[in-house]
Amino acid sequence: MIHQDGILSLPVTSKAAGAKLHMQKWLPDDPPKAIILLVHGYAEHAGRYRYFAKYCVSKGYAVFAVDHWGHGKSDGTPGYVPDFSVFHDGVDELLAAATEEFSELPIILVGHSMGGLIGATYLLSNQSKFAACVLSGPAIKAAEEPSAFLKGISGFLSRFFPKLGVLELDPNGVSRDPQVVVDYLADPLVYNGKMGARLAAEMLANMSTIQEHAGQITLPMLMLHGGQDSLAAVEGSRFLDGHISSSEKKLIIYPELFHEIFNEPEKENVLADMTDWLDKQLMAKGA
């Protein structure tokens, strides 16, 4: 189905969860030079990235995005996940859809927040499929490091009370732009309830996984983070910058920006930093 803004919606099936996942794509008028796979954050959906996508399209990139299991227009239970792997399955399907249409183009993975954690852990087994990766405010480390007791009780709750709400995010930490916060709260596809115990435990486990195995990543990587991010610790991006094995890597911290750097008043500068860096990576590869 083609929407008025030109977005193509593609329903696909997630292998693990047997769920219908809502996918979208934005294409430039001329043949694209590369494909961006967009992996959004917790509680939101890909439709919030129209400005991001249209900017990238204006620079010659095609953008493919998916609503994760339990998010947006996809099937699943908001705030809950049966296993973190269903998010990876969604990236699998997104990658398959993009390569089926553009089999010869370089593919770039862009992940924001929880999407950055999904993307980073996905790279541990799939980095050869990508030309580069960009992580925006990735959830590599928690804003407040949980105690050993909290980690222990998290595992207990995940097993016996997986849908019990245990964590609520402050929407005021999303952006310094009040209208972005208003729109976020009013968006019927944004989940404003508490994160369930299973998802919280799965995120903590995958944070530990990427911290333990970050050195396996050799892909060119750009890490972007707001210095005033209260939802995903900037130390996570600093950790990746210091521990991945990529010979081509760059960390940019924007001192005054909040969590959603693509939705801050300075978003044009952030997006320009991203596409300029990506253009250099493509030129280096002769793409």
Active site residue 158: no
Q: Which amino acid is at 147?
A: S
CA distances to 1, 64, 85, 196 from 14, rounded to whole Å, are 20, 16, 10, 21
58 exposure class (CB count in 10 Å sphere: 0-12, 13-18, 19+): exposed
Active site residue 75: no
In sequence order, what are the beta bridge partners of 133? 109, 221
Q: 199 phi and psi, to 5 degrees?
A: -65, -40
Number of neighbours of residue 275 by Cβ within 10 angstroms: 18
* Catalytic residue (choose from 67, 229, 241, 273): 229
Residue pair 88/120 in contact (Cβ under 8 Å)? The answer is: no
Active site residue 213: no
* C-alpha–C-alpha distance, residues 283 and 202, integer Å: 38
CA distances to 165, 217, 240 from 234, rounded to whole Å, are 25, 19, 10
Place of tokens 């010659």: 60
Q: 218 phi and psi, to 5 degrees?
A: -120, -5
* Catalytic residue (choose from 74, 113, 154, 246): 113
Catalytic positions, please?
A: 113, 229, 259
